[in-house]
């Protein structure tokens, strides 16, 4: 299949809408990462997403809407819980996905057989315009091959899925660069399943204390059930082995410079780069977790362009604010391998 590269103008958005309404797949820009969209109400169209990505069928998809009214209009949820409404008021449109009891219109392919559905209203104008043009809500996971870092440019999508999907709309680089925050409001107490651009602190300022799912920071034990099925899979990993190094600037620099061979590289803050004797890939700046979120996936993909690199020493980010989301992705890229430099 020839994958069309579309631009984010009115004409091309109309084209994308037609493809989607006809049961096709289109890569679309959002403020988080690029999504691979299909008509969320058409189980057959949605099943093509799983085939193109190589995504396990038990990992449910997020339904993207262009107005909060779409939830009722299309019967997406059987209940729009009060706390979800409060969060929608404050953080929609934006990088917050909310899980609620699913409505009758949601095919099993979207919810992976669960009795809940994940819903998000993206902030990106092109994303919302495409949903409008399609005339239906769009199911859209990240537009990468399953297991790879999520795509933050149209070129990343082309590299992974070119030839397998109908089109990609180029909307430039994604603002946030990490997938949305996922919170369930279908549990007795709201629980964070995946950290993202909307922080725990911001959510708690609206609905009070929330629980943080164990899988956000820790590796699931073998056979343990994941509240968010996506959390159980190895994710975001470049081909090289990644190890997180936890410690201060000097300790990080000394460790990398003293423990590196010809096949080692560093994923470091911009201020570290000049002091390191190995090839460096940038993880934004030390005190700016938004820049870290923005650069992480692009840097992980750049590492893959260097097959000679076998080992990457990455800095361990702070877990405050959006840093929690950066840490959550990096620790998965590292297969949970962390060296505490203060303890060696
Ligand atoms: P992606 O679209 O690739 O960012 O993945 C969507 C994430 O949302 C995955 O981690 C899913 O497991 C999670 N998710 C989607 N629907 C549900 C649901 N109904 N319950 C729990 N997690 C969900
Ligand atoms: Mg994904």
- Print pLDDT tens along the chain (344 aa): 999 999 999 999 999 999 999 999 999 999 999 999 999 999 999 999 999 999 999 999 999 999 999 999 999 999 999 999 999 999 999 999 999 999 999 999 999 999 999 999 999 999 999 999 999 999 999 999 998 899 999 999 999 999 999 999 999 999 999 999 999 999 889 999 999 999 999 999 999 999 999 999 888 877 777 788 777 666 788 899 999 999 999 999 999 999 999 999 999 999 999 999 999 999 999 999 999 999 999 999 999 999 999 999 999 999 999 999 999 999 999 999 999 999 98
Sign of CA dihedral 313, 195, 121, 112: positive
Residue 84, judged by CB atoms within 10 A of its CB (0-12, 13-18, 19+), counts as buried
Q: What is the pLDDT of residue 228?
A: 80
What fold characterizes domain 4-216? DHBP synthase (3.90.870)
Q: CATH topology of 4-216 equal to that of 241-343?
A: no
Taking a C-beta distance cutoff of 8 angstroms, is the pair 269, 285 a contact? Answer: yes
Q: Which ligand is nearest to the CA of 111?
A: 1
Report which of 81, 50, 59 is spatially closest to residue 143, judged by C-alpha positions. 50
Using CA positions, which residue lies closest to atom 6 of ligand 1? Answer: 61
Q: What is the pLDDT of residue 114?
A: 96
Q: What is the pLDDT of residue 226?
A: 78
Q: Which atom of ligand 1 is nearest to the CA of 142?
A: 3
Q: What tokens appear for 263 in the block? A: 């096949």
Boundaries of every domain in the chain: 4-216, 241-343
d(CA 68, CA 129): 15
CATH of domain 241-343: 3.40.50.11030
Pocket of ligand 1 contains residue 59 by CB under 6 Å: yes
pTM across the whole model: 0.95
d(CA 339, CA 61): 34
Out of 27, 28, 58, 59, mutate this one to test ligand 1's pocket (max ligand atoms within 8 Å of CB): namely 59
Q: What is the pLDDT of residue 234?
A: 66
C-alpha gyration radius of the chain: 20
């Amino acid at each position: 299949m020839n994958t069309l590269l579309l631009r984010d103008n009115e004409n091309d958005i109309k084209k994308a809408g037609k493809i989607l309404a006809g049961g096709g797949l289109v890569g679309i820009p959002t403020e988080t990462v690029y999504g691979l969209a299909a008509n969320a109400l058409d189980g057959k169209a949605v099943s093509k997403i799983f085939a193109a990505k190589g995504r396990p069928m038990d990992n449910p998809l997020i339904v993207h809407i262009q107005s909060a009214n779409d939830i009722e209009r299309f019967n997406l949820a059987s209940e729009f819980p009060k706390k979800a409404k409060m969060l929608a008021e404050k953080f929609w449109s934006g990088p917050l996905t909310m899980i609620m009891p699913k409505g009758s219109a949601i095919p099993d392919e979207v919810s992976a057989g669960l009795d809940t559905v994940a819903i998000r209203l993206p902030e990106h104008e092109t994303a919302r315009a495409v949903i409008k043009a399609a005339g239906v809500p769009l199911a859209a996971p990240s537009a990468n091959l399953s297991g790879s870092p999520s795509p933050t440019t149209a070129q990343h999508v082309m590299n992974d899925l070119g030839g397998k999907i109908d089109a990609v709309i180029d909307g430039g680089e994604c603002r946030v660069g990490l997938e949305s925050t996922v919170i369930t409001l279908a549990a007795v107490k709201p629980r964070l399943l995946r950290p993202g651009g909307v922080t725990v602190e911001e959510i708690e300022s609206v609905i009070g204390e929330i629980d943080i799912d164990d899988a956000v920071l820790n590796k699931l034990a073998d056979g343990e059930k994941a509240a968010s099925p996506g959390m159980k899979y190895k994710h975001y990993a470049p081909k090289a082995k990644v190890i997180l190094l936890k410690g201060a600037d000097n300790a990080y620099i000394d460790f990398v410079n003293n423990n590196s061979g010809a096949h080692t590289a560093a994923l470091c803050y911009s201020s570290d780069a000049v002091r390191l004797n190995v090839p460096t890939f940038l993880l934004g700046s030390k005190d700016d977790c938004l820049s870290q979120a923005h650069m992480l996936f692009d840097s992980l993909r750049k590492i893959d362009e260097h097959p000679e690199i076998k080992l990457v020493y990455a800095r361990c980010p702070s877990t405050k604010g959006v840093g929690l989301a950066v840490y959550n992705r990096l620790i998965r890229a590292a297969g949970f391998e962390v060296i505490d430099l203060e303890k060696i």
